[in-house]
């Protein structure tokens, strides 16, 4: 049941509700009196969990960077909300879904974790989301991109905050096909995210008049990409699409360069390319590649200001996933302040009621299916001669409005959506 304060908020006109949301969040950030809200906060602490890949293929794209981003958000609240302390707990799932599930159960059942605000990997996220639903706990994901998280497996207590495979495919595939890249071959990681990314993109390629010549699937953290790249080369496809992420994307591109496939007659497209991977590769290897992202550190003054703070801690610029963690944790804490409690139902209602306007998103909105809808950006990696300063890697090609990037609700398979 909604408490009285949250119910009153949700019956107000939208503009007034948003204003009250912002005002109560500002009070919380400035520091409420000691003891204020203690009867509204379970266990007198708001505990946030991150279930991450700290040492495996996604360690550089999430890992320590996502942890730092979450702790920055807490510090920007002066470590308290409703007068109660905020704690961030972190665990490594080792890219194992069973381990991720065990961590989630332990946190929800025994450790009083109120919300899990990140899980590295779509397969792990699907399991954690299902567990959170049975415990009536909030989960928010920045790294996992599988569309099914907000489609068949959607949950009333879950948010997919940064992007999904549909948004990436819709922003990336049409312009490449239009440029003449009308035959595709996929090198795909063998789990949920890879399947969704390949399938969503293949559908769009076909709709745009192109064709898919085949795919090769590799295990997570594959030691050798040469066999898969050889199949892609032999297919004769104009576009070789890497439907993977993190260390797998990095290693696949490195091996493609050694095989003299970059540059080559076939266009190599890394569908989850991120700024930290480009930094590791260097512009000589990555130049000219196209990518889709919801965030770039150098996009505007607000993104630069936050990213420079982040850089002082991590000694790297943030990618979209890490920036998304900061934004999502901040939005969650504002919702707790607005609702006057950390109870799941009123906090989720407050999260949906208020738009997201910060360095990460302009007028972002959480829909009934759990998608946080916002603009997406198509970038091209710069040539070395075009880079003017450290981490100056991307050139903006196009902005894709959120209502065009994300799947329309009329097509949703989420049971929570009323069509």
Q: What is the pLDDT of residues 210-236, one digit of tens each?
A: 999 999 999 999 999 999 999 999 999
Query: Residue 33: what pLDDT?
Result: 37
Q: What is the pLDDT of residues 256-308, one digit of tens each?
A: 988 988 777 898 889 889 999 999 999 988 888 889 999 999 999 999 999 99
User: How many domains in the chain?
Assistant: 2
pLDDT range class, residue 419, cuts 50, 70, 90: low
Q: Verify that 100 and 141 share a domain, yes or no.
A: yes
Q: Verify that 305 and 258 share a domain, yes or no.
A: no
Q: Verify that 151 and 191 share a domain, yes or no.
A: no
Instruction: Tell whether 181 is covered by a domain.
Output: yes
Q: What CATH number should be reported for the domain holding residue 348?
A: 3.40.50.2300
Instruction: Tell whether 21 is covered by a domain.
Output: yes
Instruction: Tell whether 415 is covered by a domain.
Output: no
Instruction: Tell whether 405 is covered by a domain.
Output: yes
Query: Residue 356: what pLDDT?
Result: 98
d(CA 22, CA 41): 19
Q: Verify that 110 and 216 share a domain, yes or no.
A: no
Instruction: Tell whether 418 is covered by a domain.
Output: no
Distances (CA, A) of 105 to 49, 133, 140, 368: 12, 11, 16, 25
Query: Residue 29: what pLDDT?
Result: 46
Q: Verify that 82 and 54 share a domain, yes or no.
A: yes
Q: Verify that 138 and 271 share a domain, yes or no.
A: no
Q: Verify that 50 and 11 share a domain, yes or no.
A: yes
Instruction: Tell whether 416 is covered by a domain.
Output: no
Better pLDDT: 13 or 142:
142
d(CA 388, CA 410): 44
Query: Residue 333: what pLDDT?
Result: 98
Walk across the sheet containing 183-189 and list its strands: 211-218, 183-189, 239-243, 267-270
Q: Verify that 230 and 203 share a domain, yes or no.
A: yes
Instruction: Tell whether 417 is covered by a domain.
Output: no
Q: What is the pLDDT of residues 353-393, one digit of tens each?
A: 999 999 999 999 999 999 999 999 999 999 999 999 999 99
d(CA 163, CA 201): 14
Angle at the Cα of 181 from the Cα atoms of 180 and 184, rounded to 5 degrees:
155
- Region of poorest pLDDT, from 31-35, 156-160, 163-167, 318-322: 31-35
Beta strands in 138-218 (DSSP E): 138-141, 158-160, 183-189, 211-218
- Residue 244 lies in domain: 166-293+376-410
d(CA 96, CA 405): 31
Q: Is the predicted pLDDT of residue 14 greater than 80, yes or no? A: no
Q: Verify that 31 and 144 share a domain, yes or no.
A: yes
Q: Verify that 197 and 92 share a domain, yes or no.
A: no
Instruction: Find the helix or strand (DSSP H, E) in which 227 lies.
Output: helix 226-235
> Are 182 and 211 spatial neighbours (Cβ–Cβ below 8 Å)?
yes
Q: Verify that 304 and 321 share a domain, yes or no.
A: yes
List, in sequence order, every residue forming a beta bridge with 212; answer none if it has no partner. 184
- Region of poorest pLDDT, from 22-26, 99-103, 285-289: 22-26
Instruction: Tell whether 213 is covered by a domain.
Output: yes
Q: Verify that 134 and 106 share a domain, yes or no.
A: yes
d(CA 202, CA 168): 12
Query: Residue 264: what pLDDT?
Result: 79
Angle at the Cα of 330 from the Cα atoms of 326 and 331, rounded to 5 degrees:
120
d(CA 378, CA 363): 19
């Amino acid at each position: 049941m909604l408490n009285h304060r949250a119910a009153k908020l949700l019956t107000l006109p939208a503009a007034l509700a948003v204003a009250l949301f912002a005002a109560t969040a500002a009070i919380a950030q400035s520091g409420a009196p000691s003891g204020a809200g203690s009867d509204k906060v379970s266990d007198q602490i708001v505990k946030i969990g991150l279930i991450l890949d700290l040492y495996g293929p996604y360690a550089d794209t999430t890992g320590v960077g996502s942890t730092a981003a979450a702790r920055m958000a807490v510090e920007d609240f002066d470590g308290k909300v409703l007068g109660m302390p905020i704690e961030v707990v972190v665990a490594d799932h080792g890219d194992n879904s069973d381990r991720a599930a065990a961590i989630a159960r332990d946190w929800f059942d025994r450790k009083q974790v109120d919300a899990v605000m990140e899980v590295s990997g779509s397969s792990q996220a699907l399991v954690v989301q299902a567990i959170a639903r049975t415990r009536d706990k909030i989960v928010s994901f920045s790294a996992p991109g599988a569309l099914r998280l907000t489609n068949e497996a959607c949950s009333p207590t879950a948010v997919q905050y940064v992007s999904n495979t549909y948004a990436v495919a819709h922003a990336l595939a049409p312009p490449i096909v239009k440029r003449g890249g009308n035959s595709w071959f996929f090198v795909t990681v063998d789990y949920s995210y890879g399947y969704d990314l390949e399938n969503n993109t293949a559908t769009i390629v076909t709709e745009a008049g192109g064709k898919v010549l085949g795919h090769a699937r590799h295990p997570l953290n594959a030691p050798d990409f040469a066999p898969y790249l050889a199949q892609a080369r032999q297919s004769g496809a104009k576009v070789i699409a890497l439907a993977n992420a993190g260390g797998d994307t990095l290693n696949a591109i490195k091996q493609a360069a050694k095989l003299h496939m970059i540059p080559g007659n076939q266009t190599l497209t890394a569908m989850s390319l991120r700024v930290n991977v480009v930094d590791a590769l260097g512009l000589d290897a990555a130049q000219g590649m196209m990518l889709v992202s919801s965030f770039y550190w150098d996009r505007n003054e607000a993104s630069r200001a936050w990213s420079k703070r982040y850089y002082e801690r991590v000694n790297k610029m943030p990618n979209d996933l890490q920036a998304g963690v900061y934004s999502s944790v901040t939005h969650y804490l504002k919702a707790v302040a607005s609702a006057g409690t950390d109870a799941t139902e009123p906090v989720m209602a407050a999260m949906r009621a208020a738009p997201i306007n910060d360095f990460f998103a302009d007028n972002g909105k959480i829909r009934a299916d759990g998608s946080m809808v916002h603009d997406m950006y198509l970038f091209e990696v710069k040539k070395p001669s075009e880079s003017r300063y450290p981490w100056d890697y991307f050139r903006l090609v196009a902005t894709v409005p959120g209502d065009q990037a994300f799947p329309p609700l009329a097509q949703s398979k989420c049971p929570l959506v009323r069509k």
